[in-house]
């Protein structure tokens, strides 16, 4: 690369000894003003990945050019060169000896009685469901001789339609988490389950005497009919007992919104596929909340472009902080969370139905830009009556939800793009009130026996009321029984702790977002002495020791009625659900009019608004100990292993929040960001700040789920605990807090400073109109060198690519950065977790990364520039693009040419094979890779000792060791398995592999169908058709590497009214 | 070098000034010793390398032709050679899966609950069936963990069991008949026609390679659409 060589010369000419220069810590502070100036001076569209890149700091660029450290930074503190050589000398001598032995004997341990239907060496798939909030995600789990190894979506299940999300993909790691609680404990001492059952019976007897007056049950959201029936049974035995619910990241807004709008709790189900125009009021329906996988699938099916003649749906998003949905939106407007209600009212005001009744002059609250936005959205929604949709966000208030319901009714969308059903939850309640009641009872000494079934209230309860000392309160309760997968913060204060079974270990059921009855079947017996909530409850009844299997069977029988019970049961298990059990739409009479809402108040200028959001990767904290999710860069901020208080660039500038890129040697990815103290709701927390382009000004986002003290080895003491400043009356949006910027800095691992591809135009985008005018937009500046213009071997002539020619096409229109593919790849290909320290050195191992680009130089931004309220137009609201980058499997592969030991070679089907047992770790290949997709095992990242993690690995893929290069293989194990099956067909004669028969892990997981894999030799394959589109382009095509992975330019369906400057 | 003017011309082979200036430290023969030891060092190094490589390929390391002690003295000679059991009676997954599969204890007990049901040497089998604890067989054919071999594709295309496993019907105790080195795999992957037989002869342990194998094999290869050498020798065919 030319840029790189320039830089190399410069370093070589330096007079400093290279070591001193390499060891020195270099720091580059962020200059927001420079970024803005640079953006203004640029002409035409510009794409950039980080503000520093936009600012164009030459020192920063300098740092990015070094892919690898030149001075080994592993030993920088502890071991000097002399010791290192001594150690190495000794270990080399011994290593030579170690290689001399014969490999030890291995044993084969066959079954005693082999299960029916099992073919040794062939994985099986079982249908089950992952309960998650008020939803059940239908999944298929791959099992190798009884070990579940990989989770995929169940194509027959309405909530997943075959896709999945990062949580579902990563939940397999939770099963094998070595930090799981392993045995029941009493006051920290090991007990048996039988001990517990005995004690439980005794406690039950004493509660019986007072008809359960001292018994309380606390659960999360429950959609399981069987578990709900069990709780009801317990409540029947103990009539005065009470059932409370608390789930910190599920909002009461949607529940209470329905109550406000219709007078009772109702479940809202969207039919995204039918909507032409969608307005999201701070809603992240594409990546969180019930049904989000299905919604994403449906949303992007309406954005499939087979040519410039096709039409797309249109999404408007207003939100305080960039979410996956907001980033995917065609038009996005940053607004404070508290302004969303006024915004919604202002739109409703434009509807004919309300025009005269609402609050006039509402528009005056907003900037001219926002007013224009409001008018355009209102017009567009009304133009699409019956085919539009308004979605309110989970974290929004009941009023906003009620407004969304009213607007949908006014637009005639009810019954077409949205419908209502009876609640999916077994017992919908206001969680905040429910927990408050419990806390009050505990405070008043009314509770003797508290069963906490799942959840972690000591950590995540609001800090005010009685909760500020929830732990103290728990001490007042005679016996607390806590059921949870880990011995966590709440377990500490509970007398009994019972390890909870993973959903892959126990029988159960759950209802999906639309009510579909899904069966949860175990794939493996509990790894430890774990028990389910059902069993814990049973211990207190007259039927202790009864598991949930019979109850689930009975439930299935009850739903299906008569017929062959056994056959029905088998079919249900096979399918994972009972088809046709989705709840029927109900008529919901509106009991709410927007006109009844009081006129919204404006937020005082420059008053900080603190908003809480579930973390995009570790959610409410339940996934804190999941290394895959910790290391997964958060979709919009691209930071890993930490949460941070997110601020907008303008607010950062006003408050004096900054950040400094820090690097030593060739490291990238360490950013030292300002530390701020936040005082809110009587609590105080110290947090790292993080500047996010596109965030609304004067909004501070506090992501939940971090700051765990007892999460396990992976999750403890990471980030800050936002729950400690969260009050019950302002669960999602709070004001009146104080933020002080300190002089401290905190290192944050941000992957968007890694794998820089030299600032060339890598992403291509256009509006739908531009695309229609110029279908070739993606190629404008591309040079595509003609065939044959290469010094490399012509593989075609050598007989390669004869049968199959694997290729992948990734449609950038459809990628919203949700990152399900990244975790799916990690699970499929045994990819290790490296930890924050290594991520800060730029060494994360993900085979597929998702690059986030922002765009500047748009006419709308000129508009923003004119707006006085917008301080830094380039960073105010830049559209975001996401580009998944796996190995490009080049035909003229630069990596293959430089490997001195032939460890990366061309396969007959065009893959750049990586042969681990040949690799000696020179890293030349990675250095020569223009796409930066190769990953090197700098250390032995893989855990080879922990027994439970060995069970998790995919036996079809080699587990790599230290010193070996690795990269995406297009899931060659899947290719080989399908190829072998196809060749065995027809009595050994074989047949061609059908299109879609091989599905790579990333393609399988992708809920938006953005990734398509197939045979480029077959002109009718899906991938060939995509490659034939004019939007299809090669990344860095001018290098003539001829990548097999190609991209289709991103198209946004812009509203012409808003597009014009 | 400076000529000393007082010296007479010499018939000595060595320049005279040497004698004048210093005595010879080493005898002339040391030149030979030096040369000899230099060359022999190179030779010895080469020999050692050859030795190591030969050792690595020797039966000591590959365990070719070495009988293995098993918890039960199971004889393929008796079961296959004398009784005529088909390979697939026990190795059930050989046609469907990567692994041929080792039979569960249940398969042994199908017969041995009736036959030889009280002999001492079958006690481990009965014990396994009684207790539910698996028999721990010693693995005989062991490929490197980085090689992914698939039985089913080989037998489906007409590579017979005995091609790799040897005459199992004559082995009282199981041993590895071939080296299982990559070189040995590649021999076939480069010339697959030499290993193909009629599909109904795959499980025949007594099948003999016909004289016109090259010819017949080429026909089989064509009929069964055996992939080209380029494809069969791509790294990812076996390594992933």
CB neighbour list of residue B110: distance below 8 Å, 6 or more residues apart: none
Beta-carbon contacts of residue A704 (< 8 Å; ≥ 6 apart): A248, A249, A460, A612, A613, A614, A615, A619, A620, A621, A643, A722, A723, A726
* Adjacent-strand bridge partners of A139: A128, A153
B 193-232 → A contacts, CB under 8 A: 199, 223-225, 227-228, 230-231
Q: What is the pLDDT of residue B2?
A: 45
Positive or negative: CA dihedral A753, A755, A761, A763:
negative
Contact A496, A479 (CB under 8 A): yes
pLDDT of residue A2: 36
Q: Say which residues have a Cβ less than 8 Å from residue A788's Cβ, sequence separation at least 6.
A: A794
Given this model, what pLDDT does residue A15 score? 42
Q: Does A908 have pLDDT greater than 60?
A: yes
- Give residue-wise pLDDT tens across range B177-195: 998 999 999 999 999 999 9
For residue A166, the distance in angstroms to the closest alpha carbon of chain B comes to 25
A613 φ/ψ angles, rounded to the nearest 5 degrees:
-140, 145
Instruction: Find the farthest-apart pair of alpha carbons in chain B and give their distance in angstroms, rounded.
Output: 112
Select from A1008, A931, A971 the least CA-distant residue to A806.
A971
Tokens of A208: 């019986």
A798 contacts in B (CB within 8 Å)?
Answer: 230
| Environment class of B139 (CB within 10 Å of its CB; exposed 0-12, middle 13-18, buried 19+) | middle
Determine the Cα–Cα distance for residues A1002 and A824; give it in Å rounded to an integer.
6
**In this predicted model, what pLDDT tens digit does every residue of A759-771 receive, in sequence order?**
566 888 888 988 9
CA atoms lying within 13 Å on the CB side of residue A616 = 28
Give per-residue burial for A679-698: e unless 16+ CB within 10 Å, then b: ebbebebebbbbbbbbbbbb
pLDDT at A86: 66
Question: With a CB-CB cutoff of 8 Å, which residues 91-130 of chain B face chain A?
Answer: 92-93, 96-99, 101-106, 128-129
Residue A89's pLDDT is what? 61
Do A276 and A388 contact (CB within 8 A), yes or no?
yes
**Searching chain B, which residue's CA lies closest to the CA of residue A974?**
B240
The residue that leads in pLDDT, A456 or A24, is: A456
The residues near A354 (Cβ < 8 Å, ≥ 6 apart) are A348, A410, A593, A594, A595
For residue B85, name the pLDDT band (cuts at 50, 70, 90): very high
Q: Closest-CA residue in chain A for B125?
A: A112
Alpha helices in A444-504, H assignment, sequence order: 457-460, 470-476, 489-492
Inter-chain touch A113–B105, beta carbons under 8 Å: yes
pLDDT at residue A781, as a whole number: 63
For an interface test with A, which of B60, B72, B155, B156 has the most A Cβ atoms less than 10 Å from its Cβ?
A: B156
The side-by-side arrangement of strands in the sheet containing A135-144 is A124-132, A135-144, A147-153
Length of chain B: 240
Is the CB of residue A109 less than 8 Å away from at least one CB of chain B?
yes
Cα separation, A288 vs A705, in Å, equals 15
Please state, as a whole number, how many other Cβ atoms lie within 10 Å of the Cβ of residue A825: 23
Helices and strands in chain B, H and E counts: 13, 1
Q: Is A950 helix (H, G, I), strand (E, B) or coil?
A: helix
**pTM, whole model, 2 decimals?**
0.90
CB–CB contact A988 B199 (8 Å)? yes
d(CA B133, CA A740): 65
Instruction: Give the lowest-confidence range in A436-450, A907-921, A1042-1056, B97-111.
Output: A436-450
CB of A253 within 8 A of CB of A394?
yes
What mean pLDDT comes out for the span A173-178? Answer: 94
Distance from CA of B136 to the nearest CA of A (A): 5
Inspect the interface and report whether the beta carbons of B104 and A908 lie closer than 8 Å: no
Window B:158-187, CB contacts with A under 8 Å: 158
Q: Looking up tokens 């449906």, which residue turns up?
A: A298
Query: Rounded mean pLDDT of B104-122?
Result: 91
Q: Which of B128, B138, B199 sits opposite A105 (nearest CB)?
A: B138
Q: Give the pLDDT confidence score for residue B145 in this predicted structure.
A: 84
Residues in chain A: 1061
H/E stretch holding B98: none
Nearest CA to A693 out of A157, A24, A38, A48 is that of A48
Specify the range with the lowest mean pLDDT, choosing from A360-364, A892-896, B86-90.
A360-364
Average of pLDDT values for A609-633?
Answer: 93
B135 touches chain A (CB under 8 A): yes
**Mean pLDDT of the region A987-1005:** 92
pLDDT recorded at residue A730: 87
* Chains A–B, number of C-beta pairs less than 8 Å apart: 144
What average pLDDT does the segment A448-465 reach?
87
Please give the average per-residue pLDDT across B39-61, as a whole number: 90
Token readout for B74 is: 């199971």
Across A524-530, average pLDDT = 93
Can you give the pLDDT at residue B153? 94
Q: Name the minimum distance, in Å, from the CA of A837 to any CA of chain B.
A: 29
Could you say which residues from 2 to 31 on chain B have a Cβ atom under 8 Å away from some Cβ of chain A?
A: none
Band (pLDDT 50/70/90 cuts) for residue A52 is: confident
A61/A435 Cα distance (integer angstroms): 52
Task: Indicate yes or no: CB of B132 within 8 angstroms of CB of A112.
Answer: yes
Instruction: Tell me if A286 sits within 8 A of A328, measured CB to CB.
Output: yes
Q: What are phi and psi of A362, to 5 degrees?
A: -60, -35
Query: Please, which residues bridge with residue A506 across strands?
Result: none
Q: Given this model, what pLDDT does residue A381 score?
A: 92
Per-residue model confidence (pLDDT) at position A94: 52
Q: For residue A63, which of A843, A854, A759, A662 has the smallest C-alpha distance?
A: A662
Instruction: List the single residue in B98, B156, B239 with the smallest CB-CB distance to A121.
Output: B98
Give A331's contacts (C-beta < 8 A, 6+ positions apart).
Answer: A314, A315, A316, A317, A373, A376, A377, A1054, A1055, A1058
CA-to-CA distance for A696 and A649, rounded, in angstroms?
9
CA-CA distance, A718 to A704, in Å (whole number)? 12
Write the ipTM.
Answer: 0.85
pLDDT band at residue A66 using 50, 70 and 90 as cut-offs: low
Q: Cβ contact (<8 Å) for B97 and A799? A: no
Band of pLDDT at residue B20, cut at 50, 70 and 90: low
Chain A residues in contact with B99 (beta carbon < 8 A): 120-121
Contacts of B224 in chain A (CB under 8 A): 988-990
pLDDT in tens, A799-819: 889 889 999 999 999 999 999
The secondary structure of A701-722 as a DSSP string is EEESS---SSS-TTTTT-S--G
- Among chain B residues, CA nearest to A970: B240
Q: How many Cβ atoms sit within 10 Å of the Cβ of residue A516?
A: 23
Q: Which of A797, A1046, A830 is nearest to A906 (CA)?
A: A797
Instruction: Check residue A29 and give its pLDDT.
Output: 77
Other C-beta atoms within 10 Å of B7: how many? Answer: 12
Report whether A971 contacts A886 (CB < 8 A). no
Look up residue A1021 and give its two tokens: 């394959």
With an 8 Å Cβ cutoff, are B146 and A976 in contact?
A: no
Contact flag B240-A969 (C-beta cutoff 8 Å): yes
Contact present, A193 and A184 (Cβ < 8 Å): yes
Q: Is the pLDDT confidence value at B1 over 50?
A: no
- Average pLDDT on A980-1007 reads 92
Residue B81 near residue B191, CB atoms below 8 Å: no
Over residues A317-324, the mean pLDDT reads 93
The answer to whether A752 touches A738, Cβ cutoff 8 Å, is no
Instruction: Indicate whether A928 pLDDT > 60.
Output: yes
Of the two residues A1037 and A158, the one the predictor is more confident about is A158
- Min distance A122 CA to chain B CA atoms (Å): 6
- Strand-pair partners of A645: A689
Cα first-last separation, chain B: 67
Per-residue model confidence as pLDDT tens digits over A78-103 = 555 666 666 666 555 555 444 556 77
Residue A982's pLDDT is 94
- Give percent of chain A with pLDDT exceeding 70: 88
Comparison of pLDDT for B9 and A870, the residue scoring more: A870
Q: What is the mean pLDDT of residues A34-55?
A: 75
Q: Is the pLDDT of residue A833 over 60?
A: yes
H or E element, residue A125 = strand A124-132
The whole-angstrom separation of Cα A401 and Cα A259 is 10
The DSSP result for B2-52, as a single string, is: ---TTPPP--SSS-HHHHHH----S-THHHHHHHHHHHHHHHHHHHHHHHH
Question: At residue A178, what are phi and psi to the nearest 5 degrees?
Answer: -65, -15
Share of chain B above pLDDT 70, in %: 91
| Rounded alpha-carbon distances, angstroms, from residue A478 to A423, A484, A493, A1040 | 35, 19, 11, 73
pLDDT bracket for residue A468 (50, 70, 90): very low
Distance CA A273, CA A296 (A): 10
Mode of pairing for the β-strands spanning A185-186 and A496-499? antiparallel
Tens digit of each residue's pLDDT (9 = 90 or more) over A487-508 = 998 888 889 999 999 999 999 9
Burial class (CB in 10 A: 0-12, 13-18, 19+), A215: buried
A978 at B interface, C-beta within 8 A: no
Pick B97's closest partner by Cβ from A120, A908, A913.
Answer: A120
Q: Exposed, middle or buried by CB within 10 Å (0-12, 13-18, 19+), for B119?
A: exposed
Q: What is the mean pLDDT of residues A948-954?
A: 92
Per-residue pLDDT for A22 more than 60? no
Burial letters A109-127, b for 16+ CB under 10 A, else e = ebbbebeeeebbbbbbebb
Q: What is the pLDDT of residue A74?
A: 45
Looking at the complex, does the CB of residue A986 fall below 8 Å from at least one CB of chain B?
no
Winning range, highest mean pLDDT, from A794-798, B51-55, B217-221 = B217-221
DSSP A70: S
């Amino acid at each position: 690369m030319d840029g790189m060589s320039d830089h190399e010369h410069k370093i070589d000419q330096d007079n400093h000894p290279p070591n001193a220069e390499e060891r020195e810590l270099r720091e580059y502070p962020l200059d927001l003003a420079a970024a803005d100036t640079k953006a203004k001076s640029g002409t035409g569209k510009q794409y950039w990945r980080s503000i520093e890149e936009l600012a164009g700091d030459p020192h920063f660029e300098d740092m990015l050019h070094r892919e690898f450290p030149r001075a080994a930074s592993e030993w920088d503190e502890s071991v000097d060169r002399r010791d290192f050589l001594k150690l190495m000398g000794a270990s080399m001598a011994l290593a030579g000896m170690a290689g001399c032995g014969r490999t030890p004997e291995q044993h084969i341990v066959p079954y005693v009685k082999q299960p029916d239907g099992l073919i040794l060496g062939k994985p099986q798939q079982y249908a089950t469901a992952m309960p998650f909030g008020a939803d059940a995600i239908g999944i298929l789990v791959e099992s190798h001789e009884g070990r579940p190894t990989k989770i995929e979506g169940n194509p027959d299940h309405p909530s997943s339609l075959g896709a999945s999300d990062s949580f579902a993909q990563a939940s397999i790691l939770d099963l094998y988490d070595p930090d799981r609680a392993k045995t029941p404990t009493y006051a920290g001492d090991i007990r048996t389950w039988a001990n517990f059952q005995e004690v439980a019976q005794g406690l039950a007897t004493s509660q019986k005497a007072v008809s359960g007056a001292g018994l309380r049950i606390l659960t999360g959201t429950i959609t399981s009919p069987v578990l709900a029936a069990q709780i009801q049974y317990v409540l029947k035995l103990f009539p005065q007992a009470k059932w409370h619910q608390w789930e910190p990241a599920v909002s009461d807004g949607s529940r209470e919104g329905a109550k406000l709008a219709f007078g009772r709790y109702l479940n809202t189900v969207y039919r995204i596929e039918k909507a032409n125009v969608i307005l999201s009021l701070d809603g992240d329906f594409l990546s969180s909340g019930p049904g989000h996988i299905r919604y994403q699938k449906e949303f992007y099916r309406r954005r499939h472009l087979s040519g410039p003649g096709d039409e797309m749906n249109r999404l408007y998003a207003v939100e305080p902080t960039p979410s996956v949905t907001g980033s995917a939106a065609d038009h996005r407007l940053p607004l404070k969370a508290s302004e969303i209600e006024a915004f919604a009212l202002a739109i409703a005001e434009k509807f004919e139905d309300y025009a005269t009744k609402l609050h006039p002059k509402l528009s005056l609250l907003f900037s001219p830009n926002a007013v224009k936005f409001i008018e355009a959205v209102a017009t567009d929604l009304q133009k699409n009556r019956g085919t539009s949709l308004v979605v309110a966000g989970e974290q929004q208030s009941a009023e906003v939800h009620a407004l969304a319901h009213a607007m949908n009714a006014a637009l005639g969308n009810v019954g077409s793009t949205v419908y209502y059903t009876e609640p999916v939850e077994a017992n919908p309640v206001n969680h905040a009130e429910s927990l408050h009641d419990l806390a009050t009872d505990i405070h008043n000494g009314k509770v003797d026996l508290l069963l906490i079934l799942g959840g972690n209230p000591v950590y995540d309860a609001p800090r005010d009321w009685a909760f500020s000392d929830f732990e103290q309160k728990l001490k007042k309760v005679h016996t607390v029984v806590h059921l949870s997968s880990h011995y966590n913060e709440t377990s500490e204060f509970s007398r009994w702790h019972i390890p909870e079974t993973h959903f892959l270990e126990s029988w159960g059921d759950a209802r999906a977002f639309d009510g579909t009855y899904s069966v949860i079947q175990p794939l493996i017996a509990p790894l430890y002495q774990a028990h389910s909530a059902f069993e814990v409850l049973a211990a207190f009844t007259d039927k202790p020791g009864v598991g949930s299997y019979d109850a689930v069977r009975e439930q299935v029988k009850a739903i299906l009625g008569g017929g062959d019970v056994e056959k029905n049961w088998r079919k249900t298990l096979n399918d994972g659900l009972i088809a046709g059990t989705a709840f029927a739409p109900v008529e919901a009479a509106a009991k709410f009019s927007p006109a009844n809402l009081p006129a919204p108040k404006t937020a005082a200028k420059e008053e900080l608004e603190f908003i809480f959001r579930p973390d995009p990767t570790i959610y409410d904290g339940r996934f804190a100990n999941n290394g895959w999710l910790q290391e997964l860069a958060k979709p919009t901020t691209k930071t890993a292993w930490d949460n941070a208080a997110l601020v907008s660039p303008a607010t950062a500038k006003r408050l004096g929040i900054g950040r400094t890129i820090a690097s030593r040697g060739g490291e990238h990815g360490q950013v030292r960001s300002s530390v701020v103290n936040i005082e809110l709701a009587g609590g105080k927390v110290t947090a790292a700040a993080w500047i996010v382009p596109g965030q609304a000004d004067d909004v501070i986002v506090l992501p939940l789920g971090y700051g765990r003290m007892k999460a396990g080895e992976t999750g403890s003491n990471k980030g800050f605990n936002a729950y400690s400043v969260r009050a019950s009356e302002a669960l999602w949006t709070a004001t009146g807090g104080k933020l002080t910027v300190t002089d401290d800095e905190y290192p944050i691992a941000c992957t968007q400073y890694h794998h820089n591809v030299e600032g060339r135009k890598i992403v291509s985008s256009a509006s739908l109109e531009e695309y229609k005018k110029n279908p070739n937009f993606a190629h404008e500046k591309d040079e595509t060198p003609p065939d044959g213009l290469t010094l490399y071997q012509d593989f075609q002539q050598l007989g390669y690519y004869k049968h199959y020619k694997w290729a992948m096409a990734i449609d950038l229109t459809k990628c919203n950065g949700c990152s399900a593919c990244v975790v799916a790849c990690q699970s499929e290909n045994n990819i290790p977790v490296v930890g924050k320290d290594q991520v800060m050195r730029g060494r994360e191992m993900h085979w597929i990364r998702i690059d986030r680009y922002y765009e500047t130089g748009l006419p709308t931004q000129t508009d923003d520039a004119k707006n006085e309220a917008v301080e830094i137009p380039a960073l105010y609201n830049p559209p975001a693009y996401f580009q998944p980058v796996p190995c490009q499997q080049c035909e003229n592969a630069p990596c293959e040419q430089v490997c001195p030991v032939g460890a990366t070679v061309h396969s007959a089907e065009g893959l750049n094979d990586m042969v681990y047992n040949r690799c000696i770790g020179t890293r030349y290949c990675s250095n020569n890779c223009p796409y930066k997709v190769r990953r090197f095992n700098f250390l032995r990242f893989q855990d080879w000792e922990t027994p439970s993690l060995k069970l998790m690995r995919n036996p079809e893929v080699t587990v790599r060791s230290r010193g070996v290069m690795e990269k995406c293989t297009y899931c060659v194990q899947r290719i080989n398995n399908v190829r072998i099956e196809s060749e065995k067909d027809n009595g050994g004669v074989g047949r061609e592999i059908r299109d879609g028969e091989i599905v790579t892990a990333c393609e399988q997981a992708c809920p938006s169908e953005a990734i398509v894999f197939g045979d480029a030799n077959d002109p009718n394959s899906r991938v060939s058709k995509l490659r034939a589109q004019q939007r299809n382009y090669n990344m860095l095509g001018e290098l003539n590497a001829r990548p097999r992975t190609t991209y289709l330019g991103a198209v946004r369906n812009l509203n012409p009214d808003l597009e014009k400057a | 070098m400076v000529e000393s003017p007082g010296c007479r011309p010499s018939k000595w082979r060595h320049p005279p000034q040497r004698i004048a200036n210093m005595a010879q430290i080493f005898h002339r023969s040391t030149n030979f010793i030096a040369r000899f030891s230099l060359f022999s060092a190179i030779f010895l190094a080469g020999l050692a390398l050859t030795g190591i490589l030969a050792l690595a390929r020797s039966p000591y390391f590959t365990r070719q032709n070495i009988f293995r002690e098993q918890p039960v003295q199971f004889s393929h000679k008796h079961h296959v050679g004398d009784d005529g059991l088909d390979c697939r009676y026990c190795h059930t997954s050989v046609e469907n899966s990567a692994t041929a599969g080792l039979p569960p204890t249940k398969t042994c007990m199908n017969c041995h609950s009736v036959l030889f049901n009280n002999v001492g040497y079958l006690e481990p089998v009965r014990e396994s069936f009684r207790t539910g604890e698996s028999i721990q067989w010693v693995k005989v054919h062991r490929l490197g963990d980085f090689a992914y071999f698939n039985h089913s594709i080989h037998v489906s295309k007409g590579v017979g069991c005995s091609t790799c496993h040897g005459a199992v019907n004559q082995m009282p105790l199981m041993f590895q008949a071939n080296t299982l080195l990559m070189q040995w795999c590649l021999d076939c992957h480069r010339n697959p026609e030499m290993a193909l037989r009629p599909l109904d002869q795959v499980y025949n342990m007594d099948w003999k390679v016909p004289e016109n194998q090259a010819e017949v094999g080429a026909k089989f290869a064509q009929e069964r659409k055996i992939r080209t050498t380029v494809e069969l020798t791509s790294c990812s065919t076996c390594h992933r």
